[in-house]
């Protein structure tokens, strides 16, 4: 068996199961992204937090947790909210914005590696279809 979960002996019925195909593709993409970001000393949650703060603005730990799916206790840099001293507000710094630009460039390259066999139009279609499936799965 190869690292993607198939061998020449894998029955065609298994190789055609959408859930299995998604799992194989997701595992491959996850390995590429984890390794690519890791080479820069980053993890996926670094990008998620920076994107959430850049696109959505400063947030309480709870709101940031909701935006990213990262447990609020995993957020490490925070400061008291000037409007409500009982909560912490997380903001992105200039350094964070620069790091986000670097991470986005890396992620763009890695997404290209994941979808390397597909022409641009097919990539757009696939991303659209996966978005619809993901939205349905979220309920």
- Give, in order, the Cα–Cα distances in Å from 2 to each of 24, 85, 113: 11, 54, 19
- Residue ranges of domains in the chain: 12-114
CATH node for 12-114: 1.10.10.10
Segment 9-33 shows an average pLDDT of: 93
pLDDT for residue 77 is more than 60: no
- pLDDT per position as a tens digit, 85-123: 677 778 888 898 999 999 999 999 999 999 999 999 999
pLDDT for residue 76 is more than 70: no
The pTM of the full predicted model, rounded to 2 decimals, is 0.77
């Amino acid at each position: 068996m190869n690292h993607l979960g198939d061998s020449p002996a894998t029955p065609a019925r298994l190789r055609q199961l959408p859930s299995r195909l998604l799992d194989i593709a997701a595992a491959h993409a996850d390995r590429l992204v984890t390794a690519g970001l890791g080479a820069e000393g980053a993890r996926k949650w670094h990008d998620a937090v920076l994107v959430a703060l850049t696109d959505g603005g400063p947030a309480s730990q709870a709101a940031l947790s909701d935006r990213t799916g990262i447990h609020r206790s995993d957020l490490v840099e925070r400061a008291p909210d000037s409007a409500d001293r009982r909560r912490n507000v997380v903001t992105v710094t200039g350094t964070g914005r620069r790091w986000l630009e670097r991470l986005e460039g890396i992620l763009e390259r890695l997404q290209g590696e994941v979808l390397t066999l597909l022409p641009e139009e097919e990539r757009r279609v696939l991303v659209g279809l996966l978005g619809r499936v993901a939205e349905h799965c979220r309920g």
